[in-house]
Structure 1
Amino acid sequence: MNKKRVLLSWSSGKDCAWALYLLRQDPTVEVVGLFTTLNQAFERVAMHGVRKQVLQQQAECVGLPLITIDLPWPCSNEDYSRIMSDFIARVVADGIQHMAFGDLFLNDVRAYRERQLAGTGITPLFPLWGSQTDELARQMIAAGLQARICSLNPNQLPPQFAGQPFDQALLADLPAGVDPCGENGEFHTLAYDGPMFLRPLAVTVGETVQRDGIVFTDLLLQQ
């Protein structure tokens, strides 16, 4: 049986890590690599603020090659579309026919990805789509996934949650209306251990700052 060769969109967070876990359980799928867009000026994952060096070490810990796509800062829609179109053309030429994403329920995000890939030769996969996020969050934690909040929107979640572990205590403390997986942009995470890791990613909590209306916690490699 010829397996689907899949590239997984990798933000460094819990949802893409869980998507990797599910994809690896599918006998029809071979996840052949990860891809991430980076803010070129800061060498960090957009929205998450995770450093490139941490991201690269994380990819090694899950045992997959990582493709980083540098985006200028600021990045216009035209620049983004051109850069991503070039990237997609390259991976199609390498025999990739599927890209997977860890989206849960935002229809506009899914529709955007489907439009972006329409006619390219790439079929998008959404292994987490339609999950009940309260149940999914508990599943992740029960399976041993470990992550910390690396960025949050202080208009949706109080800044004291910055850098906190994604665990049962966090779920119990989340204010009413906050999605347990942060799917509405309330928070983003860095995953550092779990059933999709070959070995844990050793990180330590660094400085927390507010920039452009977002609270970022610097998660650093342990020396």
Structure 2
Amino acid sequence: MCKNIALSWSGGKDGCMAFDKLVKKGYKIACFVTTVPKEMRRTFAHGEKTELITLQGEALNVPVHFIECTFESYTESFIESLKILKTKYNLEVIAFGDLYLDEHREWGEKTAQLSGLEAMFPLWMKQSKALKALEAFVRSGYKAKVIRVRKDMLEESWLGREVNDQFLHDIVKKNVCPMGEAGEYHTFVYDGPLFKKKIKVHDGKVISHEHSKRLELEDGVLIDKY
């Protein structure tokens, strides 16, 4: 079994599910890797504040490494950073939380190979299994809220919603992937079984982008769970 793994981390439920599955199988998550646009303190994937991603790493006791890149240099920067982290942590694997999109898997396998690492996709499934995957997350004990939605897929009212039984009941009525694999929605995980502390946040303003709307999370702090 490979012991040292870097996990691609955007702060949402998919990465969290991958983390949980790998830990339960006995793998060691040496670090999280999160891409950020240069000169912005936001994640590339969800537009979340890097401070909140750092809090997740602290709560899960995993160091977070931010990879600065541009859209044009994204792949190159990712590979070069992985090479550095491979030496630092004696990495053998880079894991991704992708579910079923072949183009995402192909990119992950290519970047892993060029970095001298094995690619792992612990959540990989058939598209038809997406609803069961969401059910598994809802029952996992992890807590997440919706922080971004695609305008053409979900209304603004979905922002801030907890990913719980009611969410599960409502999302199946929409013509979207229940797991949001096509970017229909993105989430932020703030608590769960492997969290040493809970992340407390407040809902801030809603920001409209060209194709999406994003909920600002404010005043993030770690609090004791017991």
Same fold by TM-score greater than 0.5: yes
Q: 1:35 to 1:119 in 2, by over 3 A?
A: closer
Residue 164 of structure 1: aligned partner: 161
- How far does residue 92 in structure 1 lie from its aligned partner after superposition? 2.5
- How far does residue 3 in structure 1 lie from its aligned partner after superposition? 4.4
Name the Cα RMSD after superposition.
Answer: 1.6
Query: What does 1:81-120 align with in structure 2 at a 5 Å threshold?
Result: 81-94=75-88, 95-120=90-115
CA contact (8 A) 2:113 2:119 kept: no
Deviations, residues 4-32 of structure 1 (Å, cap 9, x unaligned) = 210111000011011111100113x2111
User: Structure 2 residue aligned with 1:213, among 211, 214, 224?
Assistant: 211
Q: RCO greater where, 1 or 2, for CA within 8 Å and sep 6 or more?
A: 1
Deviates further, 13-22 or 162-171: 162-171
User: Structure 2 residue aligned with 1:58, among 36, 56, 59?
Assistant: 56
Mark the runs of 5 or more structure 2 residues left unpaired by the alignment. Answer: 222-226
- How far does residue 119 in structure 1 lie from its aligned partner after superposition? 4.2
Identical counterparts, % of pairs: 25
Distance 1:136 1:82 in 2: 32
- How far does residue 105 in structure 1 lie from its aligned partner after superposition? 0.7
- How far does residue 176 in structure 1 lie from its aligned partner after superposition? 2.8
Write the letter of the residue equivalent to 1:188. Answer: H
- How far does residue 197 in structure 1 lie from its aligned partner after superposition? 1.2
- SS of 1:163's equivalent in the other structure is coil
Residues 1:22 and 2:16 aligned together = no
Write the letter of the residue equivalent to 1:122. Answer: L
- SS of 1:124's equivalent in the other structure is strand
Mark the runs of 5 or more structure 1 residues left unpaired by the alignment. Answer: none
Q: Normalising by structure 1, what TM-score?
A: 0.91
- SS of 1:118's equivalent in the other structure is helix
Deviates further, 35-44 or 101-110: 35-44
- SS of 2:198's equivalent in the other structure is coil
Write the letter of the residue equivalent to 2:4. Answer: R
